[in-house]
Amino acid sequence: MNSIVIMGVAGCGKSSLGAVVAHATGLPLVEGDDHHSASNREKMQSGVPLTDADREGWLSTLCEELRAHPQGVVMTCSALKRAYRARLRQAEPALVFVFMDIVREQAQSRVAARAHAHIFPTALVDSQFATLESPVGEPGVLRVDALAPLPQLQAEVTAWLTSKEAA
């Protein structure tokens, strides 16, 4: 099975969808946020957006994770820029992406609701939208409505993955 990246801005539901897709497919789950450096975590917690330079080591680590799972993996990663997605595809050429599309107000609300339990503050949601280069139209990308019920999203993603395998 292909490796898959569940991507989108903060608050879109990457971790929730990643967990159910990993369970449904039997693939291991790699949480991208778990691989940020301490300095990146500190910057984010302080409300400072990460730069491309800040993300360099993080992307390298995620590429290593993709290569370490040749049988396939479900990875959660914002993958906001086309260049970040290209970098991940270099590590795994058959990589596919699920873009969890959400509007700014809903993302802001979701991030605020989990502020007590997550490193990402609401102050950074705007920077995520400013950085986002939509992957819609790129090969190997499925756009989903991040506000759809989780069971519906999981079914949509696993059906898409199955159809890609059969192709």
> Would you give the DSSP letter of residue 158?
H
Contact yes or no for 88/79 (Cβ under 8 A): yes
Domain span holding position 115 = 4-166
| 123 close to 47: Cβ distance less than 8 angstroms | yes
At 113 the pLDDT is 80
Strand order in the sheet with 4-7: 29-31, 74-76, 4-7, 96-101, 141-145
Instruction: Give the pLDDT confidence of 153-162 residue by residue, as tens digits.
Output: 999 999 999 9
Mean pLDDT of 113-130: 71
- What is the band of 7 on the pLDDT scale with cuts at 50, 70, 90? very high
Q: What domain count does the chain have?
A: 1
pLDDT reported for residue 120: 59
Alpha helix stretches (DSSP H) within 49-149: 52-67, 82-91, 104-113, 125-131
Q: What is the pLDDT of residues 30-68, one digit of tens each?
A: 998 888 777 777 777 777 777 888 889 889 999 999 999
The CATH code of the domain that includes 58 is 3.40.50.300
Helix/strand/coil for 165: helix
The CA distance from 56 to 46, in Å, is: 20
Average pLDDT (115-125) is 63
The angle subtended at Cα 84 by Cα 167 and Cα 67, nearest 5°, is: 60
